[in-house]
Each structure stands twice: as structure tokens, then as C-alpha cells.
Amino acid sequence: MNTSGTWRRRGAWLVAAVAMATAVTGCRDAGSGGETPGAKPPRPATPAKPSPGAPKKPGGGPAKALTCGQLRNAELQNSSLDLPDGPDGGITLTDGRWEGDGVVIELQPPCGIGDVTGDPAADAVGAIKVTTGGTGKFYGLVTWRNEGGTPVPAAAASLGDRTPVESINVPATPARRATVVYLTRGDSEPAAVVTIRRTAVFRVTEPTMVEVSHTDAAYTP
């Protein structure tokens, strides 16, 4: 028997089988794009959700801060807010003034801008003087909420008769606070004089502004 010829034929078959298996494996790899069998495709990125922000103005975007100038022609009293010393009915200022039924309301120069209603939009706090037919001149505070860049009356407080406001400041912290400096007097003193410079802190709790603390210093005209 010629065994050497037999082994040579078997060796040739083995080489051919190995070559064929290598070619088939290469074709599979090429068709799969080189990915590992069983591997999961990468998960698509989840779009980020928009975070809550300031109230939006018409057309989109955050509302701009109110300005003191806007208050000169702003609504002052409506069905949601009654001024403590004001007449009945709706009231809108015109160039800082309103007059009707023998009552005159005038916007005063002190004004503060900042968030006092609990949202990121900057509101406004201003002072008014209400004059009636007698000698009384009643001063008060008004908070205007920022609704899309429009001042809307939201809260108010009365400071009393002949108690002019000197300044209003709305600090960043604590939230929903306004610091007001105004002139007043002791409980037993006549309304015609002012003897105290009061620095009071008010908190806005719609529809009122509540005094939470104050400090007094002697005042001489």
C-alpha cells in the first residue's frame, strides 16, 4: 500500500477545508460591520427637558424686569385688589396720577425692583399718596406683580396719615421682602408732626403687604 500518497491527499484536503472556513468567517464579519454578535446597539441620547424659569413674555423668552417708569401708567386697583385708602372701582394711573369723586391718587418717587411674589421675574414695589377732600394725606405701598413684563397690582398696605415714604429697597434675600423707610410719629403725637424715621420690613402675602419687623430712629424736620 502506498501510505505516503494517502497522507499527502489527506493533507491537501485539510488545507482546503481550513481555507474555506476562513473565507466564510471573513464574509460573516464583513456583513455584520465588525460588530460583536449579541452586542446591544448604543441607546440614543434622551433630550434634556426644559427647566422651569421665569414667566414667559408674549413670543417666548423670560419676562423682563419691571421698571419704575412703567408704574406711572399702570393699573392700580382692580377686582382682585382694593387699596386700603382708595375709592371703589377700577383705577389706572395716567402719568402717575388719578383723580375721581374728590379723591386724588399720586404715585410717589420711591420705588424698588425685585422678586417679591416668589417667582424669578422681578416685580415692583411703589408708594402712593391718597388725598381726600379734608386734610388727610394717606400714604401706602403697592406691589405690582410681573406678568410677562406687564405690572399687575397684587398687594397693598396702608402706612397712615401724613407718613411720607423716603425709600424702598427689594433685596435678593430674604425672598418676598421689601424694606421701606418712611416718616411717622408716636401713637400719642398729633398727626401734624413727624418725629420718627422708621425702617420697616414688609412681606408680600397677596393681596396684602404685612409688616414683619421695624426699627425706629429719632427724626427732626
At 3-12, the pLDDT tens digits run 444 434 444 4
pLDDT at position 51: 41
What CA–CA distance (Å, rounded) separates 112 from 168? 5
Let me know whether 93 and 137 are in one domain. yes
Stretch 197-209: mean pLDDT, rounded? 97
Residues 17 and 119 in one domain: no
Question: Residue 210: inside a domain, yes or no?
Answer: yes
Which pLDDT value is given to residue 131? Answer: 96
Question: 107 lies in a domain?
Answer: yes
For residue 147, being part of any structural domain is answered with yes
Q: What Cα–Cα distance (Å) separates residue 176 from each residue in 2, 61, 79, 124?
A: 107, 23, 23, 11
Same domain, residue pair 162 and 212: yes
Residues 103 and 186 placed together within one structural domain of the fold? yes
Residues 204-212: what's their mean pLDDT? 96
Mean pLDDT of the chain, nearest integer: 81
Q: What's the rounded mean pLDDT across residues 169-190? A: 94
In a domain, 45, yes or no: no
CA atoms in the 13 A half-sphere facing the CB of 194:
18
**What pLDDT, on a 0 to 100 scale, did the predictor assign at position 60?**
54
Are 5 and 98 within one domain? no
Q: Which residue has the higher pLDDT, 120 or 124?
A: 124
pLDDT at 134: 83
The verdict on 177 and 102 lying in the same domain is yes
Q: If you write DSSP's letter for every residue of 13-56 in order, what string do you get?
A: HHHHHHHHHHHHHHHHHHHTTTPPTTPPPPPPPPPPPPPP-SPB
User: Mean pLDDT over residues 45-57, rounded?
Assistant: 45
Q: Are residues 104 and 7 in the same domain?
A: no
Tell me the pLDDT tens digit for each residue of 132-171.
Answer: 888 889 999 999 999 999 999 999 999 999 999 999 999 9
Q: How many domains does one find in the chain?
A: 2
For residue 119, is pLDDT > 90? no
Find the domain containing 161 and state its range: 68-218
The tens digit of pLDDT for each residue in 30-47 reads 444 444 444 445 544 444
52 belongs to a structural domain: no
Mean pLDDT of the 41-68 span: 58
CA torsion angle 138 205 98 163 (round to 10): 20
pLDDT (0 to 100) of residue 174? 86
Are residue 183 and residue 110 in the same domain, yes or no? Answer: yes
pTM (two decimals): 0.72
State mean pLDDT over 188-195: 94
Claim to verify: residue 28 and residue 76 sit in the same structural domain:
no
**pLDDT at 19 (0 to 100):** 44
The reply to whether 90 falls in a domain is: yes
> What is the grid cell recorded at 209?
403687604
pLDDT for position 42: 52
Give yes or no: residues 101 and 159 share one domain: yes
Give the C-alpha separation, 67 to 112, whole Å.
9
